[in-house]
Amino acid sequence: MKAVIQKGYDYIELWQESMKDRKGHIPERLRDDQAEEAFWASMMEKKTSHKPDPYTIAVQQELLPLLHSDDNVLEIGPGWGNYTFAIADKARKLTGIDSSKSIVEFLDSQAAAKGVRNMELICDKWESDKEREKYDVVFGFNCFYRMYDIGKALLKMNESANRLAIAGMTTGPEKPHYMELHQMGYSINLRRRDYIHILNVLHQLGIMASCKMVKLQSRKSYSSYEQLVKDNITKILDAHYDVQEVERVLRKYVIEKNGTYEYVYPFHAALMYWEPVSM
């Protein structure tokens, strides 16, 4: 049931091409399972308890009404559990699948600490060839970044869902100082893949998904000016640039108060959801 796409508009190929960096290489974390595990192991070392990112509350308010209390839900790539425990609290059962052993161990320990008994965790890649069970709802948020064959991964979500499949992703706009610098001629490492790629892949596969945009806000505080600058020049690709000019643009978007620096800017989450389609 694959829709006919004009040459040059294969969105699966576009997704795969966008996985490459500007030198034409796929970054190490995206191709090396050990490098990816090392990253998550270092992240989990800093986590002493489960604490969702602040923005997830607004996303949960849109996500949870899509679930039923008697649903058996599969969550793909739960990470440190931004949605995991909220889903487990709403649904009859939650199964989480993640390729990182460190994440699975962390979530397992947090489930035990919280007394959550309707959760099962699997350490595996969703995109592997292993056959999966059927679930009422299949959900994944910000979990697609390593999935080279995005079409296969989304079809697997479609095939594994009895009632609903939900694919979520945070999206822009980019931080405003980066966009201003980009307009001034600076080379900026802007995001290359976004929710619209997934929406287009779904369309290419013959799946007409609904898309809900959720308005979010990022609020980050820095205890020093040096840390503010260091954290907000990482996307500049130019080997040499005017430091004073960059800092002047950055300061336009930052509020200084009592020796701290606060950067507040809007961004969004996209929730794409559909009833399973027979292929």
Tally the domains of the chain: 1
242: in domain: no
**Spans of the chain below 70 pLDDT:** 1-8
pLDDT of residue 8: 55
Q: Report the pLDDT value the prediction gives residue 51, as an integer from 0 to 100.
A: 84
Between strands 135-141 and 254-257, the pairing is unpaired
In a domain, 95, yes or no: yes
Dist CA 189 CA 175 (whole Å): 12
Q: DSSP secondary-structure letter at 184?
A: T
pTM (whole model) above 0.85 = yes
Integer Cα distance of 251 and 113 in angstroms = 43
Domain contains 235 = no
Domain span at 169: 11-174+189-217+267-274
Q: What is the pLDDT of residues 133-178, one digit of tens each?
A: 899 999 999 999 999 999 999 999 999 999 999 999 999 999 999 9
- Residues 6+ away with beta carbon under 8 Å from 58: 214, 215, 216, 269
- Residues written for the chain: 279
User: How many alpha carbons lie under 13 Å from residue 154 in its C-beta half-sphere?
Assistant: 32
Identity of the amino acid at 176: P
- pLDDT at position 49 is 82
Q: CATH code at 125? A: 3.40.50.150
pLDDT recorded at residue 186: 97
Instruction: Tally the C-alpha atoms within 13 A of residue 209's C-alpha that lie toward its C-beta.
Output: 30
129 lies in some domain:
yes
Q: Which residues contact 261 (CB under 8 A, 6 or more apart)?
A: 221, 222, 224, 225, 228, 254, 255
In a domain, 247, yes or no: no
Nearest of 217, 227, 178 to residue 53 by alpha carbon: 217
Whether 181 is covered by a domain: the verdict is no
Q: Is residue 183 a part of any domain in this protein?
A: no
> Considering the domain boundaries, does residue 194 fall inside one?
yes
Structure tokens at 252: 């336009």
Confidence (pLDDT) at 47: 85
